[in-house]
Amino acid sequence: GVGLGGVALFTRTPSTLVLRDVPVGLDESLDTLTPFVPPLVPDPDLLLFETKVSSSPDIPNAEVLLHADCNEQEVTCEISRYTPRGLQESSDPAYFMVFLSVEGLDFSMSLILQTLSVEKHQPALIQKKLSLPLSSSGTLQTKGIFLVFSNKKSVLAPLRGDILLNCGFKQEEVPLGADVGVEWRLQHRGKGHKVLEMKKNLDDTKGTVLHGERKGSSMDAAQLASQGNVSMSLTQLKVADEGTYICTVSVGRFHAQQVIQLHIYQPPQVSLSDEKLKTSQTLSCHSRKYYPLDAQMQWFYLSPHVSNWRILFFSADSYWFVLGFLIITVLFFYQVIK
């Protein structure tokens, strides 16, 4: 809805997404999994979205959802009404956009659901909030028709190095359209711009239009057509390449996107120098050419009975902190064993 002054007001309502027929490994027993059981009495106030994974485009690594709760991993699930280009919001069937991610795992996807017709042997129960007919078990029957996914939500790459930002798409067996459009954008500190754009006709092996605004960016048109792989390669990374990358895939009337964070780092060049004075000795540390700039320096001293080494430790974010701690730990145990 739109509130006073034209400010959009979004409401959130608790809902449940039921994925049926999720693939299970051969070495896993179904007895260890808890199936979804619908309410005995259908409730028109509940929002229960149900879809069969087996009749939808394959969801990569969907099995991680089976054990996320037992592994105490938080699953983020957001569902919103979706209107394809050129259609009215009240069109039949209805469409919904589902965003799914799992905390601590590289699992993220955007899935478009399409409602299925309900058997009309008897008056259908109507969901109160959506005004859509429910099945006899009180669920909103849907099928997945299009999804965009990424198996890397955040990547760390060295300055002047190369990186592959992962993104892919899948659609139902009957293609939603012959033309596929892919756009990569970069957002950072309130500014954004297009990095790379590709338009491909799946029925034409030569019909590819590629436009890159960043030198060294590329996509593989052959993998787009054969595997739905729209990953983007970047070479000779610069500090300006750091930020949030948005991969948007459009097929026919539908589009969905994924977000990948790219972090750039540059290990410091560290040197020591000492200056002997009359009564004391000064040991100085010099560091340069490092990124990010919000770094910290620490000095560590190992007691004489362990070692007479003095160790300098420099950290840029938690990566270097962990590395320095591991080095000190190894040196400590080495001296003890020795």
pLDDT of residue 2: 41
Alpha helix (H) residue ranges in the chain: 64-67, 221-227, 317-337
Residue 130 to residue 92: CA distance in whole angstroms: 12
Cβ atoms of 256 and 147 within 8 Å: the answer is yes
Mean pLDDT of 27-36: 79
Residue 303 to residue 298: CA distance in whole angstroms: 16
Residues 6+ apart with CB under 8 A from 175: 202, 251, 252
pLDDT digits (tens, 9 = 90+) for 48-107: 999 988 777 888 888 888 888 888 889 999 999 999 988 877 778 899 999 999 988 888
The pTM for the full model equals 0.79
pLDDT of residue 16: 93
Beta-bridge mates of residue 260: 245
Residue 43 to residue 173: CA distance in whole angstroms: 34
pLDDT of residue 314: 44
Residue 203 has pLDDT above 80, yes or no: no
pLDDT digits (tens, 9 = 90+) for 280-317: 778 888 888 888 888 778 887 777 665 444 444 444 44
Nearest to 52 by CA among 148, 146, 142: 142
Name the percent of the chain in helix, strand, coil, to the closest 5: 15, 45, 45
pLDDT digits (tens, 9 = 90+) for 93-149: 899 999 999 988 888 999 999 999 877 666 678 999 999 999 888 999 999 999 999
Which tops the pLDDT comparison, 116 or 31? 116
Q: What is the mean pLDDT of the chain?
A: 82
Nearest to 141 by CA among 51, 63, 202: 51
DSSP 236: S
